[in-house]
Structure 1
Amino acid sequence: MTDVAEVLASLRRAPDVEADNLTAVDASDRLILTEADAALAEVDGDRVAVIGDRYGALTLGAAAAHGLTGMRVHQDPITGEQATARNAARLGLASAYRSHGLDEALVRGARVVLLQLPRSLAELTEIAETVARWADPAVTVYSAGRLKHMSRSMNDVLARSFGEVIATRAAQKSRGLIARGPVRTDPPTYPARTTVPELGLTVVAHGAVFASGALDRGTRVLLRHVDRIAPDARRVVDLGCGTGLLAIAAARARPNAEVIASDRSAAAVASARATADLAGVTLTVRREDALADEPDAGVDVVLCNPPFHEHTAVHTGGAEKLVRAAARVLRPGGEMWTVYNGHLHYRGLLARTVGPTEIVDRTPKFVVTRSVRV
């Protein structure tokens, strides 16, 4: 199959959540491919970098349109990598790309960069600075996003790393930003270091990590309880760890326990590992999809501050997936401690999936629950 429309129509989100209101491709993907079409026709695949491709629309669309191979691709969530690999294998396009971190190897010498704009300005800053630092001086970045998730600040972020930033006309509620003339930032902004005095920690944060270097309010509420949660626990998991603050607190409280910090985000895993190293705390840090590498029924405690978004869509499917994962890995009698926005009403989900669930703390915005695996 080489018809681009057919390729895009065939893409699936799995292993991410599939639902009627969640799509693998949107108009911003199509806009990027349209704007970059002429440039892609003039370069070899190894001069193309793709960043933020959610499920392979940019990578596999470019490959189908121009027969490109060897493109370099960075996707922060491991589920995006896995979905793209599944889609590529099904379409016979596995040779179209190679996965990379957000680093020099991704963009060294690139002439064309395809970028799905992230909502986070911090993430966009790290991406823009990385491209400007290592790509070919003649590089052009073709980016786009949905209008409802874009802001003028995105232009400003790109303008700090590129001499020219041009906005395209809007199309199907999406708009493109095209950037040229890279300007190197020394030193780079990310990873950033932020001191959190109440924890006695310096947090190391990459741009894409949730809450950046701050202590988000939900985590702060759950941290009130970490010292007293199952003091004899020998295996503790911080599920969706972000910068690893819950995992570090648990490791400090239980120096003889193995504490695992798990997240699907490459930025989160790198941030948690660096923060723990700086704090002198030993963690097992893993990038994985919903504890995929953890055996069944061997964990004493799971700590979780679950998301309620799937990319830009408000959807609880991701949180439900994490709760099911926790239920699978907890031993009988093991505990899941969860903090969530009170309006989400996760208590019923936790009770059905994990076991008896009680509310142990409540603030005007957050609820902390304790669920016991039956």
Structure 2
Amino acid sequence: MDDRMATPWGEYTLARFPEDTRDRLRAWDASDAYLLRHLAAGDTPLNGTVVVVGDRWGSLVTALSAHRPVGITDSFLAREATRANLRRNGVDASTLRLLTTQDPPPDRIDVLLVRVPKSLALLEDQLHRLAPAVHEGTLVVGTGMVKEIHTSTLKLFERILGPTRTSLAEQKARLIFCSPDPRHSRGTNPWPHRYELPDDIGPLSGRTVVNHAGVFCADRLDIGTRFLLRHLPDSRDAERIVDLGCGNGVVGTAAALTAPEAEVLFVDESYQAVASAEETYRANAKGTARFLVGDGLSGVPESSVDVVLNNPPFHSHQATTDATAWRMFEGARRALRPGGELWVIGNRHLGYHLKLRRLFGNSELVASDAKFVILRAVRK
């Protein structure tokens, strides 16, 4: 959906990435607009180094582009959306610094604007990483929808940066105001987190997983992945295996242990996830592996893969959608060689078998329980 966001500085045409004319979701929401209104009406000028954290589709960076903000995001799609929206509004994206959550943050931050993420862990990690650059005069403002801001959110700001309060709600959005205290004892950053896997999941039994903040299954193996690990395909003859939407990399690492001669490609749109996958792999496996942050398999050559393993998400921030799964399945079909296999795990009610039959012309039920199904589709 292409839309125009009205701000005190003018209107901006914005779109999500990748663009889809069927997508009716906007590239901004009421919390973005609330923050921009507050900044325009405030007495504090936006001088010095302005940092925008977690801008979901680039609306904040685009609207504030005259102040040359530094954008920090964990999302490849958000980063590409920001670049596209800057160009769409006549701004040269190369004149701004767009960092990832894995990059070193600026040494000094004079204005810190935080779009509250869904993951409290990611917020905790980012506040810890940014805190050394924040000083007593730093303007710190967070923003989010009312349903995204909880007491635990405010406690994180207060514990890591300093005294914190909230605004009144407007259009179901709320602002967070934090007064940094350099003398504040914030403790140590607990991320990344490591834990041991259970003993009944095949080749990865009892091994170590590394989870950076914000990555699914932060402290224990989820039941869906556990089910998939017990039913992985025999890929010993495969030359190239892809863990698509790899998360912390446990599925791809298990595949690497069962097929040590294969190259395993770990792909995710989260920089935190790919960093987790690489550390999980390095801790448990040897061989040939590649790690790619990107939009699914768009960067993988056509007909170059033997097996794709996939546990697709069915949420985009707060919205429930099958758009991501559909793009993953389409990308897998293009990347697989003739005879190559896509293995998918999902909740029974999602109906992935229907989508796979439309794309591949076939879908086989490999295993199921009360909650999950594992499906296999073959590129003919």
Q: Structure 2 length as normaliser, TM-score?
A: 0.90
Distance 1:177 1:296, change over 3 A: same
Work out which structure has the larger RCO, using CA pairs closer than 8 Å and 6 or more positions apart in sequence: 1
The aligned counterpart of 1:356 is: 362
Contact kept in structure 2, 1:7 and 1:91, CA below 8 Å: no
Select which of 249, 257, 264 maps to 2:254: 249
Contact kept in structure 1, 2:362 and 2:377, CA below 8 Å: yes
State the shift of 1:92 in Å: 1.8
Cα distance in 1, alignment partners of residues 41 and 131 from structure 2: 22
Greater CA deviation, 31-40 or 322-331?
31-40
State the shift of 1:12 in Å: 0.4
Taking only aligned residues, the RMSD between alpha carbons, in angstroms, comes to 2.3
The aligned counterpart of 1:75 is: 73
Please give the secondary structure, in 1, of the residue aligned with 2:40: helix
Q: Give the counterpart letter for 1:216 in structure 2.
A: D
Q: Say whether 1:262 aligns with 2:267.
A: yes
The aligned counterpart of 2:89 is: 91
The aligned counterpart of 2:40 is: 37
The aligned counterpart of 1:178 is: 177
Distance 1:81 1:104, change over 3 A: closer
Cα distance in 2, alignment partners of residues 119 and 178 from structure 1: 18
Contact kept in structure 1, 2:229 and 2:251, CA below 8 Å: yes
Distance 1:8 1:302, change over 3 A: farther
Cα distance in 2, alignment partners of residues 355 and 362 from structure 1: 21
Please give the secondary structure, in 2, of the residue aligned with 1:294: coil
The aligned counterpart of 1:310 is: 316
Distance 1:34 1:107, change over 3 A: farther
State the shift of 1:354 in Å: 2.7
Contact kept in structure 2, 1:47 and 1:109, CA below 8 Å: yes
Matches within 5 A, 1:90-169: 90-95=88-93, 97-102=96-101, 105-169=104-168
Cα distance in 2, alignment partners of residues 106 and 135 from structure 1: 11
Distance 1:56 1:132, change over 3 A: same
The aligned counterpart of 1:288 is: 294
Distance 1:365 1:206, change over 3 A: same
Deviations 1:239-277 (A, max 9, x none): 000000001000000000000110010110111111212
Structure 2 stretches of 5 or more lacking a match?
200-204
Select which of 60, 63, 67 maps to 2:62: 60
Greater CA deviation, 249-258 or 185-194?
185-194
The aligned counterpart of 1:196 is: 197
Contact kept in structure 2, 1:195 and 1:202, CA below 8 Å: yes
Q: Give the counterpart letter for 1:273 in structure 2.
A: E
State the shift of 1:202 in Å: 1.8
Please give the secondary structure, in 2, of the residue aligned with 1:193: strand
Q: Give the counterpart letter for 1:243 in structure 2.
A: N
Structure 1 stretches of 5 or more lacking a match?
none
Q: Structure 1 length as normaliser, TM-score?
A: 0.92
The aligned counterpart of 2:336 is: 330
The aligned counterpart of 2:379 is: 373
Contact kept in structure 1, 2:311 and 2:344, CA below 8 Å: yes
Greater CA deviation, 216-225 or 243-252?
216-225
The aligned counterpart of 1:23 is: 26
Cα distance in 1, alignment partners of residues 323 and 8 from structure 2: 28
Greater CA deviation, 27-36 or 111-120?
27-36
Distance 1:141 1:363, change over 3 A: farther
Distance 1:18 1:189, change over 3 A: farther
Distance 1:196 1:16, change over 3 A: farther
State the shift of 1:103 in Å: 5.7
Contact kept in structure 2, 1:73 and 1:106, CA below 8 Å: no
State the shift of 1:170 in Å: 0.2
The aligned counterpart of 1:274 is: 279
Q: Give the counterpart letter for 1:83 in structure 2.
A: A
Residue identity (%): 35
Distance 1:257 1:83, change over 3 A: same
Q: Give the counterpart letter for 1:157 in structure 2.
A: L
State the shift of 1:160 in Å: 1.5
Please give the secondary structure, in 2, of the residue aligned with 1:136: strand
Please give the secondary structure, in 2, of the residue aligned with 1:249: helix
Distance 1:281 1:138, change over 3 A: farther
Contact kept in structure 2, 1:237 and 1:303, CA below 8 Å: yes
The aligned counterpart of 2:202 is: none
State the shift of 1:81 in Å: 0.7
Distance 1:188 1:256, change over 3 A: same
Please give the secondary structure, in 2, of the residue aligned with 1:370: strand
Distance 1:243 1:11, change over 3 A: same
State the shift of 1:112 in Å: 0.9
